[in-house]
Structure 1
Amino acid sequence: MSEIESRLAEVERRVRDVADREEIRELTARYCQNIALGDTEAIVALFASDGSIVTHFPGGSGQSDVVPTGTAELRETYSDLDETALKPFIHNHVIEVDGDTARGFCSVDLRLVQDGQPYTGAGHYEDAYRRVDGQWKFQRRELFVFHWGPWSKGWD
């Protein structure tokens, strides 16, 4: 391989890496957007057919022992979204791509209205991604919540 071919191959590899990372960031943003819109089918379409979601709340509260896996279970999990559903706001992505799989970490701020009272939370997602038919999908999305409480109490 000539020096020019070698450099071109390196540029192509770097461009693919940047494109993969951006596509994964877009995937996580679409997840948040579709949660806000309450679009169950669009959310489920972001997961691999055998994908899963796990949620861990502080002190073991919440449903961390339930791991919806696969299209039907994910559809059931996301089927009752309305304007009061938990809204995630993500930032601080770290993404490591390895061929057709990747791992990611992103911070999340959470907002929810429950019984007319606003709640706030914070945590992070640890994600496993898989490229399926040329598109990045969630293989596993795991939410770790380290703060959760009524907005009126702040960080108490």
Structure 2
Amino acid sequence: MSEETRSLLERIQHVEDVLAINDLRARYCHLVDERRYEEVLALFTFDAEVHMAGSAVGTEELSRYWTKGAFLALGISNMWHFSHNQTLEIDNDQARGEALIECYAIVNDEPVVIAAKCLEEFRRVDGRWLIAKKSTANTTYYQGPYSEGPTPNSLLWLA
């Protein structure tokens, strides 16, 4: 195989990887918003870490985190995620990236808005990209009542 052909195949593989990971990110948001937690679990590696609205590491903890309602314990009854400005660096079967998250939720029967940066790691397992880590710990910009919205004094990153 010529160097030019190899380069083209590598570039095609990179594009396919980016598309697969971005689909994984979108699928995660849709499934969480639809409360399809058993399907959410299938998107994670066996040793995955989640640090958002609590923490969980590994399949057993993740199962409790999702199916026992980490969000319900915080009074979150509904939510709608929007992921923006995604970055991604791929190195063979590992990838990492960031996404800005905008989330509208109902918390204790009140509408709130949350803005955060999500730090993410992905791993290819048996030819399929999975989530290895998702974290908004220490990267939340704003969380508060929707009716008020963010103000310069309420933005957490300015504190």
TM-score by length of 1: 0.86
- Encode CA deviations 1:23-74: one digit per residue, 9 max, x unaligned: 000111010010111011111111100101012xxxxxx64xxx30111111
CA distance in 2, matches of 1:145, 1:88: 14
* Paired letter, 1:120: V
CA distance in 2, matches of 1:86, 1:127: 20
Work out whether 1:155 is the aligned partner of 2:150.
yes
Matches within 5 A, 1:72-83: 72-79=60-67, 80=69
CA distance in 2, matches of 1:149, 1:68: 24
Residue 87 of structure 1 and its aligned partner are, at CA, apart by: 3.0
1:132 to 125, 130, 136: 125
Q: Unaligned stretches of 5+ in structure 1?
A: 56-61
Residue 134 of structure 1 and its aligned partner are, at CA, apart by: 0.6
Match of residue 57 from structure 2 = 69
Per the alignment, in what secondary structure is the counterpart of residue 12 of structure 1?
helix
Residue 86 of structure 1 and its aligned partner are, at CA, apart by: 3.7
CA distance in 2, matches of 1:121, 1:95: 22
Identity level (%): 28
Work out whether 1:142 is the aligned partner of 2:135.
yes
Runs of 4+ in 1 over 6 A off after TM superposition: none
| Residues matched between the structures, number | 144
Residue 91 of structure 1 and its aligned partner are, at CA, apart by: 1.5
TM-score by length of 2: 0.84
Residue 20 of structure 1 and its aligned partner are, at CA, apart by: 0.5
CA distance in 1, matches of 2:22, 2:41: 17
Q: CA RMSD in A?
A: 1.7
CA distance in 1, matches of 2:107, 2:86: 29
2:19 to 19, 22, 25: 22
